[in-house]
Amino acid sequence: MRTPRKGAASPQAARALADVRAAERILPEPIQGHLVAFMQYLRLVRNSSACTLRAYRADLEQFLGFISCHPDLGSDGLSRLTRQHVRAFLADLQVSEYRRTSLARKLAAMRAFCKWANRQALMEGDPTIGIQTIKQEKKLPKFLRGGEVEALLAAPDTETPDGQRDRALLELLYASGLRAAEAHRLDVGDLDLFSAEIRVRHGKGDKERIAMLGEDAIAALQHYLQNGRIALATAGAAAAEQAVFLNKFGQRLSDRGIRRTFDRYVTQTSDRLKITPHVLRHTFATHLLDNGADLRSVQELLGHANLGTTQIYTHVTTERMKDSYDKAHPRASKRDGDGQG
Residue 278 is a catalytic residue: yes
CATH of the domain at 314: 1.10.443.10
Output the pLDDT for position 221.
95
In a domain, 5, yes or no: no
Share of the chain above pLDDT 90, in %: 17
Mean pLDDT of the chain: 77
> Which pLDDT belongs to residue 337?
44
CA nearest neighbour of 31 among 69, 76, 81, 72: 76
Amino acid at 142: K
Residues 70 and 183 in one domain: no
- In this structure, the answer to whether residues 164 and 34 fall within a common structural domain is no
Does 143 score more than 70 pLDDT?
A: no
What's 187's DSSP letter?
B
Name every residue whose Cβ is closer than 8 Å to that of residue 224 and which is 6 or more positions away in sequence. Answer: 164, 165, 167, 168
Count of helices and strands (H, E) across the chain? 15, 3
105 and 164 part of one domain: no
Mean pLDDT, rounded, for 244-250: 90
CA dist., res. 338 & res. 240, Å (int) = 70
Lowest mean pLDDT among 93-97, 99-103, 235-239, 270-274: 235-239
Query: Residue 300: what pLDDT?
Result: 65
Question: Does the annotation count 224 as an active-site position?
Answer: no
Q: Is residue 127 part of a domain?
A: no
Q: Report how far residue 167's alpha carbon sits from residue 158's, in angstroms, rounded to the nearest whole number.
A: 7
Which of 100, 119, 138 is at the close of a domain? 119
Quick one: pLDDT at residue 17? 43
Does the pLDDT at position 67 exceed 50? yes
Do 248 and 196 fall within a single domain?
yes
Residue 314 DSSP label? H
217 and 294 in a single domain? The answer is yes
Residue 334 counted as domain residue:
no
Choose the catalytic residue: 179, 185, 229, 282: 179
8 Å CB contact between 70 and 77: yes
Active site includes 204? Answer: yes
The CA distance from 268 to 28, in Å, is 50
More confident residue, 252 or 21: 252
Residue count of the chain, please give it.
Answer: 341
Catalytic residue, from 115, 259, 304, 320: name it: 304
pLDDT at 223: 95
Range of the domain at 256: 146-325
223 is catalytic: no
**Please, which pLDDT band fits residue 338 given cuts at 50, 70 and 90?**
very low
Residue 152 lies in a domain: yes
* 195 and 300 inside one domain: yes
Which residue, among 196, 195, 200, 185, has the nearest Cα to 241 in the 3D structure?
185
Selecting among 204, 209, 259, 320, the annotated active-site residue is 204
The whole-number pLDDT of residue 229 equals 92
CA atoms within 13 Å, Cβ hemisphere of 281: 19
Task: Determine whether 313 is an active site residue.
Answer: yes
Say which range, 72-76, 166-170, 175-179, has the weakest mean pLDDT. 72-76
Q: How far apart, in Å, are the Cα atoms of 155 and each of 118, 121, 170, 241?
A: 53, 57, 10, 27
pLDDT of 6: 38
* 125 part of a folded domain: no
- Identify whether residues 78 and 211 lie together within a single domain: no
Q: Does residue 277 or residue 75 have the better pLDDT?
A: 277
